[in-house]
Amino acid sequence: MMSLKNKKILLVIGGGISAYKALDLIRLFKKNDVDVKTILTKSGKEFVTPLSITTLTKNKTFEDIFDKNTEAEIDHIALSRWADLIIVLPTTANFMTKLSIGKAEDLATTVLLASDKEILLVPAMNVRMWFHKATQQNLKILQDYGYLFIGPEKGEMACGEYGEGKMSSPRQIFSYLKNYFDQKNLVKNKNFKALVTTGPTKEYLDPVRYISNESSGKQGYEVALALKKLGIKTKLIAGPSNLIYSKNLKIKKVTSAKEMMYEVKKSLPVDIAVCAAAVSDFKPINKSKNKIKKDASKFNNISLEKNPDILDYLSKNNKARPKIVVGFSAETENVIQNSKKKIKEKYCDLIIANDVSKKDSGFNSDYNKVSIIDKKGKVKSIPKNKKSYIANIIANIILVKLLMNDKNIN
Ligand code: C5P
C-alpha cells in the first residue's frame, strides 16, 4: 500500500471554532511528506492566523481573490490545477449554502466553483444546525453535485451540546484520505473494465410503430458515470432516450434488444456488467417493410417472440462471465421478495430492486428509491434520493465487491 507521500492537498480553512484543528491536520500532512497549500477565508482568519499556517506549511496562505502580490504568481485556476484533492475544513452550514447555490464571492468559493478536482467537505456545526431541513437539503444537493463528505461525528461540541455535528478528527481525516488514495491507486493499477446497459429498447412493428416502455435510461447512465469516476474504464450501451450524454463517457447507442445483445457481446471481456436496461421482453416476429394500414384484421394478429435475455447471457456465460454481474429489478408489488427470487434465477451477484409503481421516483424521474440485494439475501435500502447519488453508492459497493473478489482469487 502506498502512503500520502508527495500528494498535493489544497486546504480551505473555514470560519468555525474547529478551524484550529486545521493546524493539527497540516502537521500530520507535513510529517507524512504531503504538500499543503492553504486558502484562509475571512471568517477562518478570526480563528487561526496566517502566520501559524505559513509556519507549518512553509507555503504562503492565500486569502484574497484580488491579491495584487500573488495574482500574477498563482491565480484561482492554478491553485485548483495544482491540487490532487481539495479539503474544506471546517465546512460550516453557511458555507454549505453557498456551495449548494454555486455562489462565488471570495477566493475559496471561486476556487471551488471553478475546480474539476474532487472536493472533501468536513462539516462542523451545532447539532440542530446540522439537522435543520435547510442544511439536510443542502447536503443532498452537494452529494448530488459529487462533493465528498467525512463526518460530522457524534460527540460533545464546543457550544457544550451533545450530538451529531462534531468535526471528524485530523486522524480520522488522514486515514480517510489514505484509503481514498490507496483505492484510487489500486483501481488504476488493476485496469478494470465495465459495461452498463441502459434505457428502453424499441422493437419495431413497421417503420413508425414500436413496442417499448417508460425507461429514461437515467439510472444506468448515472451508474456508468459513477464507475468511470472511480477510475474504471466504462462503456455505456444505451437504448433510445432523450438524455444528453457526457462527452467523457464511451457510449454506443442501440435501438433493439438484438442490437444491444450484439454490442454487449462485442464489449466482452469485462470485469463488471451492470444491466440497467429495461429491455422489451417481446418483439414482433416480422417487421413490416411499409407502414401497416389501419386494417383491424392485421393488428389483431401481431405475433410476438421473446427477446434474448442479456443479463442471463452474461451471468451464465462460462467462458467470459464478468467477475461482478449486476441486475435491476423493476417491480410494482412485493418488490424485495420478487427481487430475491430474481437474483437466484438470473444468477447475478447483486440486484438493484426498485419500486416503479410510484410516480415521483423510478421510471422517468430524476429520483429513485432502491434496495441493493446480494446473493445471500442481504438487503441495503437507500431512501429516496437523486439517481446520481444512488449511482455513487451502487458503484462503490460494486468496486468493494470486485476488490474483495480479486483479493480472494490472487
Ligand atoms: O426479468 P426481468 O426483466 O424482470 O429482469 C430485469 C433484469 O434483467 C434487468 O437487469 C434487465 O436489464 C435484464 N434484462 C436483460 N435482457 C432482457 C430482459 C431483462 O438484460 N431481455
Verify whether ligand 1 is closer than 6 Å to residue 327 (CB atom): yes
The CATH number given to whatever domain includes residue 117 is 3.40.50.1950
Give phi and psi for 263, each to the nearest 5: -65, -35
For ligand 1, the distance from its centroid to the CA atom of residue 303, given in whole angstroms, is 21
Where do we find the cell 429489478? Answer: 329
On whether residue 3 sits in a domain, the answer given is no
* Domain match, 174 and 222 both: no
For ligand 1, the distance from its centroid to the CA atom of residue 277, given in whole angstroms, is 7
On whether residue 243 sits in a domain, the answer given is yes
Tally of residues, the chain: 410
* Domain match, 257 and 160 both: no
* Domain match, 216 and 230 both: yes
Q: Which residue type does 6 have? A: N
Q: Which residue type does 268 have? A: L
* Domain match, 150 and 201 both: no
Note down pLDDT in tens along the chain; length 410 residues: 567 999 999 999 999 999 999 999 999 999 999 999 999 999 999 999 999 999 999 999 999 766 655 555 557 789 999 999 999 999 999 999 999 999 999 999 999 999 999 999 999 999 999 999 999 999 999 988 889 999 999 988 878 889 999 999 999 999 999 999 998 898 989 999 999 999 999 999 999 999 999 899 999 999 999 999 999 999 999 999 999 998 889 999 999 999 999 999 999 999 999 999 999 999 999 999 999 888 766 667 789 999 999 999 999 998 999 999 999 998 888 999 999 999 999 999 999 998 877 766 667 788 999 999 999 999 999 988 889 999 999 999 999 999 988 877 66
Helices within 279-352 (DSSP H only): 296-299, 310-315, 335-345
* Domain match, 208 and 88 both: no
* Domain match, 182 and 202 both: no
Give phi and psi for 231, each to the nearest 5: 95, 15
Angle between helix 218-229 and 387-409 (nearest 10): 50
* Domain match, 173 and 277 both: no
Q: What is the DSSP string of 357-402?
A: S-SSSSTTSSEEEEEEEETT--EEEEEEEEHHHHHHHHHHHHHHHH
Verify whether ligand 1 is closer than 6 Å to residue 329 (CB atom): yes
Verify whether ligand 1 is closer than 6 Å to residue 220 (CB atom): no
The pLDDT of residue 65: 67
- Distance (Å, rounded) from C-alpha 358 to C-alpha 354? 10
Compute the CA torsion angle 208, 214, 217, 218 (nearest 10 deg): 140
Verify whether ligand 1 is closer than 6 Å to residue 280 (CB atom): no
Residue nearest to atom 8 of ligand 1 (CA): 311
Q: Of residues 134, 159, 320, 400, which has the active-site annotation?
A: 159
Ligand 1 pocket test, pick from 214, 263, 279 with the greatest ligand atom count within 8 Å of Cβ, gives: 279
159 is an active site residue: yes
CB-CB neighbours of 252 under 10 Å: 17
* Domain match, 74 and 139 both: yes
Contact call for residues 50 and 11 (beta carbons, < 8 A): no
Look at residues 166, 187, 208 and tell me which one is the last residue of a structural domain. Answer: 187
The pLDDT of residue 7: 97
The CATH number given to whatever domain includes residue 304 is 3.40.50.10300
- Residue numbers of the domain that contains 340: 191-409
Strand partners, 234: 194
* Domain match, 172 and 296 both: no
On whether residue 260 sits in a domain, the answer given is yes
Number of structural domains (the chain) is 2
The radius of gyration of the chain's CA atoms, rounded to the nearest angstrom, is 25
Verify whether ligand 1 is closer than 6 Å to residue 196 (CB atom): no
Look at residues 187, 209, 237 and tell me which one is the last residue of a structural domain. Answer: 187
* Domain match, 250 and 305 both: yes
